[in-house]
Chain A
């Protein structure tokens, strides 16, 4: 057995396509997850006890079960309740919903970190709820929620690899397919690992940069 990375690298255009799909689903899914998570956290914060409890259940379910089981349920189980999604739609939706449960918890912790006195004071001077969220809660918790948010984004990037199991033509599926066509299995896995590693380190680096800038701003 010898190693031949050239046969894999010869398929660079295909690999870049797969990488593109991975990045699109990752970025799109993470943004959707953060927005959805923020909406859920806000509802829990201001919607009263019943809403808070009702939203806790799906969050616990999503956080207590493997992502793989969730996407299998969505992709293979969905058609039996009339939900017949294309693989990439199922993948994007899966990442968004799964991520939203974690972002909802991140933002909930963020809201809790803001001293209640600040919100009460804002209410007293007659600020609307929207204004309170935009001018008090968001800026005050930004520094606190940024690190776990970035961390979650990186976790979601790695979770996209599982979408290869529901036929989404992302990086893992593409490189593995090339590996089996070219009989260069180990090489394809080594390249796959290196690309993800680089992506994650890049994302971490950007995250550190964002954190530094934000803390400078608020200092």
Chain B
């Protein structure tokens, strides 16, 4: 295992970080929308969000990515590998994040929402300005956890043609016949990234304002 090989792995890990970060944020936005659909009172929206969440939590990410990669073009949508990977990861994490957020939304004190609506907030406004920020705050640790899960799950996106840390490790292992040090190094890099994410998450959790009492 030379420094040259290790630096190639480090370089590839930037793609891992980029794809994961974008997917987490897009997934969070979509997760909030899904939560809104479930609380909108519309049965169709509720059922739609339910099927979406059930599907993306029920199918292995490997199969999801391959399906999106091969099905979208048939429907006339051809996107580059990077976009496909981000869409795949975002849809998957959105389903999980919606589940995480559910607990947060349930924990929003009803009195707060009622007083907001009495003060003239519409339902949508109170969802956006009252319930969502509180739910986000309450489920922040789950978001950090989800970020780590997605960083690990991004090891699969090479099946849609993206070269990230795991694919680079596979490539290097194939050309050097040194799978042991190369995959071990990849593991160390994943671990380091995740420890940093967890540490930042802990810092942020401590720095964020406290939770409202029930």
Tell me if chains A and B make direct contact, with any CB pair below 8 A. Answer: yes
Which residue numbers of A lie inside 8 Å of B, CB to CB? 1, 60-61, 64-70, 72-73, 76-77, 80-81, 158-162, 164, 172, 185-186, 189-190, 192-193, 196-197, 200-201
Q: Assess the A200–B190 pair: CB atoms within 8 A.
A: no
A-B contact pairs, 8 of them (CB 8 A): A66-B190, A77-B180, A161-B63, A162-B60, A164-B62, A172-B62, A189-B67, A197-B59
Q: Which chain A residues lie closer than 8 Å to B179 at the CB level?
A: 72-73, 76-77, 80
When the two chains form the complex, which single residue of B62, B74, B155 contacts A161, counting CB atoms closer than 8 Å?
A: B62
A116 to B74, CA, bound (A): 60
Q: Assess the B155–A193 pair: CB atoms within 8 A.
A: no
Most buried by B among A76, A80, A190: A76
Rounded to whole Å, the gap between the CB of A208 and the closest CB of chain B is 13
Q: Assess the B62–A162 pair: CB atoms within 8 A.
A: yes
Count: A-B pairs, CB below 8 Å: 100
> Is B183 part of the binding interface, using a Cβ–Cβ cutoff of 8 Å?
yes
Rounded to whole Å, the gap between the CB of B166 and the closest CB of chain A is 6
Query: B-side binding surface: helix, strand, loop or mixed?
Result: helix
When the two chains form the complex, which single residue of A67, A73, A160 contacts B183, counting CB atoms closer than 8 Å?
A: A73
Q: Assess the B59–A193 pair: CB atoms within 8 A.
A: yes
A164 to B63, CA, bound (A): 11
A161 to B60, CA, bound (A): 7
For chain B residues 48-88, which have a beta carbon within 8 Å of chain A? 54-55, 57-64, 66-67, 70-71, 74
Q: Assess the B70–A186 pair: CB atoms within 8 A.
A: yes
